[in-house]
């Protein structure tokens, strides 16, 4: 079995296609279930955010795995496979490891260095665990990604570069509104991204914060947390009329704030400008709103362009160096671990041969006293151990290098080891508690960007 990643993200596809291919929570769960039961797959994790949809899997066959994962991803994303394929990326084994560690570290994010992705990777692993879709291999890999992601943010200055989507978006609308302190804001949504938006607005001393959501109970909880007010979705028009700034991030499958609704709200505003910040894919705010008078609309495409020059090169290079080194150590250790069953099977076979020969010696020399028999047994065991020491140590070292599996195959062939005996050896993979920041609140009805 080998690790395979098939995915699409803001780096591989235009946002218009990414918007159509975005997976909500239900679609991601159904994709995970179908991938888990694919003929080539042993383990699976689905990582779905507003700007990436990725399937991680342990597969028996590379080409068969790529075909199955691509077809399932296209099917659940609702995009024709022929249209999606040119924008898919595929990473295998070492490159798959490096990719996940880069993702978890924020190096592959739309805003380089953002730390929200750590919580999203952790949530993806937990969902796979709950669905019994993940086993020891992907569990170990994802936990390593969480550890490395946390180390990158602790040991480098990438957090200075890693402004959130919200921070960059707010900076983009500020020229139209002026300072945000004392302004009134409307947050549409009540999930993790909405919670971060509301907390950021409160930190910036925004005056009145109103939260609107389809579920008023969720809106009320978020509003209370930031000292704001909650309204039902039916009050959207008057809420838009009163707000200076709107931040929308619901994860809905369709537009929530239409141009007609905004036009109706403008009637009560006069010439007062209205800033619309759309942090969702698919869009929460109708792009046509940008054509309305006194309206400024900023979406993820604009944020991606603005964020391109925000990071510090030295911090990013330091983060990349950590990821590269950690990925190399992890893949070397993984390759060495894969040869361990062969080494155990070889030593087991050698021990069986020694025991059989000692039993035969005891039958041929029944008068041999116990002390002599023990000395003979000890000598034979030492000889076998010394003969096996060099090849078994060396094969573990060589297995940590690229192509190291060939040495394990050679060892198995040279000593005529039965493959079934090797496969019967089960070695538990290490894996402690998840080492990552606490989970952010998750909007069960949508995605986190």
Q: Omega into 282 within 30° of 0, i.e. cis?
A: yes
Higher pLDDT, 418 or 36: 36
The residue-averaged pLDDT of 356-378 equals: 85
Sign of CA dihedral 99, 69, 45, 283: positive
Structure token digits, residue 261: 């609704």
Q: What is the pLDDT of residue 436?
A: 36
Token pair 């040119």 in the structure block, residue: 86
Residue 404 pLDDT class (50, 70, 90 cuts): low
Inter-residue contact 318 to 158 (CB < 8 Å) = yes
Distances (CA, A) of 72 to 5, 31, 244, 341: 13, 7, 43, 33
pLDDT digits (tens, 9 = 90+) for 19-32: 888 888 888 999 99
The residue-averaged pLDDT of 136-163 equals: 85
Residue 374 pLDDT class (50, 70, 90 cuts): confident
DSSP state of 438: P
pLDDT higher than 50, residue 364: yes
Structure token digits, residue 163: 């402004």
d(CA 177, CA 296): 9
pLDDT higher than 60, residue 136: yes
Distances (CA, A) of 160 to 4, 65, 136, 200, 202: 32, 39, 35, 16, 20
Q: CB-based contacts of 118: which residues, under 8 Å, 6+ apart? A: 104, 106, 146, 149, 150, 153, 436, 437
Sign of CA dihedral 65, 409, 416, 397: negative
d(CA 187, CA 213): 9
Q: What is the pLDDT of residue 172?
A: 86
Nearest C-alpha neighbor of 3 from the set 142, 128, 185 = 142
**Run of H or E including 211:** strand 208-213
The residue-averaged pLDDT of 137-151 equals: 94
Q: What is the pLDDT of residue 46?
A: 95
pTM score above 0.85: no
pLDDT digits (tens, 9 = 90+) for 188-238: 988 877 888 888 898 888 889 999 998 899 889 999 998 999 999 889 999
- What's the topology of domain 2-162? Beta Polymerase; domain 2 (3.30.460)
Q: Note the helical H segments in 178-247.
A: 192-203, 216-225, 236-242
d(CA 12, CA 86): 9
Radius of gyration, CA atoms only, the chain: 28
Q: What are the residues facing 277 on neighbouring strands?
A: 247, 298
Q: What is the pLDDT of residue 58?
A: 92
Question: Can 50 be counted among the known catalytic residues?
Answer: yes
CATH superfamily placement of domain 165-305: NAD(P)-binding Rossmann-like Domain (3.40.50.720)
The residue-averaged pLDDT of 118-136 equals: 93
Residue 157 pLDDT class (50, 70, 90 cuts): confident
Q: What is the pLDDT of residue 161?
A: 52
pLDDT higher than 60, residue 377: yes
Residue 410 pLDDT class (50, 70, 90 cuts): confident
pLDDT higher than 60, residue 427: no
pLDDT digits (tens, 9 = 90+) for 270-328: 788 999 998 887 788 999 998 998 999 988 878 776 765 555 677 788 889 999 999 98
d(CA 54, CA 73): 8
Q: What are the residues facing 300 on neighbouring strands?
A: none
Q: What is the pLDDT of residue 400?
A: 61
Residue 160 pLDDT class (50, 70, 90 cuts): low
The residue-averaged pLDDT of 76-82 equals: 91
Strand order in the sheet with 295-298: 229-232, 208-213, 184-188, 245-248, 274-278, 295-298
The residue-averaged pLDDT of 396-415 equals: 70
pLDDT higher than 50, residue 431: no
Catalytic residue among 8, 38, 48, 50: 50
Q: What are phi and psi of 59, to 5 degrees?
A: -120, 150
Residue 421 pLDDT class (50, 70, 90 cuts): low
pLDDT digits (tens, 9 = 90+) for 237-269: 999 988 999 999 887 778 889 999 998 888 878
Residue 81 pLDDT class (50, 70, 90 cuts): very high
Nearest C-alpha neighbor of 126 from the set 148, 143, 144, 105 = 143
Residue 448 pLDDT class (50, 70, 90 cuts): very low
pLDDT digits (tens, 9 = 90+) for 6-16: 999 988 888 77
Burial of 136 (0-12, 13-18, 19+ CB in 10 A): middle
Nearest C-alpha neighbor of 292 from the set 315, 305, 273, 310 = 273
Higher pLDDT, 1 or 375: 375
Residue 148 pLDDT class (50, 70, 90 cuts): very high
Residue 449 pLDDT class (50, 70, 90 cuts): low
Domain ranges of the chain: 2-162, 165-305, 330-423
Q: Are both 2-162 and 165-305 of the same fold? A: no
Chain center to CA of 144:
11
pLDDT higher than 50, residue 441: no
């Amino acid at each position: 079995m080998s690790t395979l990643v098939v995915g699409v993200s803001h780096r591989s596809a235009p946002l218009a296609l990414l918007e159509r291919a975005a997976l909500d929570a239900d679609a991601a769960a159904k994709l995970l279930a179908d991938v888990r039961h694919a003929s080539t797959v042993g383990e699976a994790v689905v990582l779905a955010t507003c700007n990436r949809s990725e399937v991680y899997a342990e597969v028996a066959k590379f080409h068969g795995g790529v075909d199955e994962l691509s077809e399932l991803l296209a099917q659940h994303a609702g995009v024709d496979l022929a249209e999606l394929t040119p924008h898919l990326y595929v990473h295998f084994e070492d490159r798959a490891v490096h990719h996940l560690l880069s993702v978890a570290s924020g190096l592959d994010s739309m805003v380089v260095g953002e730390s929200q992705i750590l919580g999203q990777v952790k949530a993806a692993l937990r969902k796979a665990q709950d669905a019994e879709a993940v086993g020891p291999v992907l569990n170990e890999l994802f936990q390593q990604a969480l550890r490395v992601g946390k180390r990158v943010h602790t040991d480098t200055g990438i957090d200075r570069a890693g402004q959130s989507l919200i921070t960059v978006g707010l900076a983009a609308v500020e020229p139209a509104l002026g300072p945000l302190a004392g302004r009134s804001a409307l947050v549409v949504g009540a999930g993790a991204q909405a919670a971060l938006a509301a907390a950021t607005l409160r930190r910036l001393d925004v005056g009145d914060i109103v939260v609107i959501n389809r579920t008023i109970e969720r809106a009320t909880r978020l509003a209370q947390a930031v000292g704001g007010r909650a309204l039902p979705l039916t009050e959207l028009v008057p809420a838009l009329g009163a707000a200076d700034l709107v931040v929308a991030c619901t994860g809905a499958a369709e537009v929530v704030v239409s141009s007609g609704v905004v036009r109706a709200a403008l009637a009560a505003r006069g010439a007062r400008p209205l800033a619309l910040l759309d942090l969702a894919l698919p869009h929460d705010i109708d792009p046509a709103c940008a054509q309305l008078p006194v309206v400024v609309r900023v979406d993820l495409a604009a944020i991606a362009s603005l964020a391109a020059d925000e990071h510090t090169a030295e911090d990013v290079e330091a983060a990349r160096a950590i990821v590269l080194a950690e990925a190399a150590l992890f893949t070397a250790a993984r390759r060495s671990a894969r040869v361990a069953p062969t080494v155990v099977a070889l030593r087991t076979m050698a021990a069986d041969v020694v025991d059989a020969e000692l039993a035969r010696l005891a039958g041929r020399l029944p008068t041999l006293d116990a002390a002599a028999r023990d000395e003979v047994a000890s000598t034979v065991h030492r000889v076998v151990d010394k003969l096996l020491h060099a090849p078994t140590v060396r094969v573990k070292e060589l297995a940590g290098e690229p192509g190291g599996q060939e040495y394990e195959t050679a060892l198995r062939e040279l000593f005529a080891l039965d493959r079934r005996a090797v496969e019967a050896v089960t070695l538990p993979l290490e894996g402690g508690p998840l080492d990552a920041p606490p989970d952010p609140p998750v909007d069960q009805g949508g995605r986190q960007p």
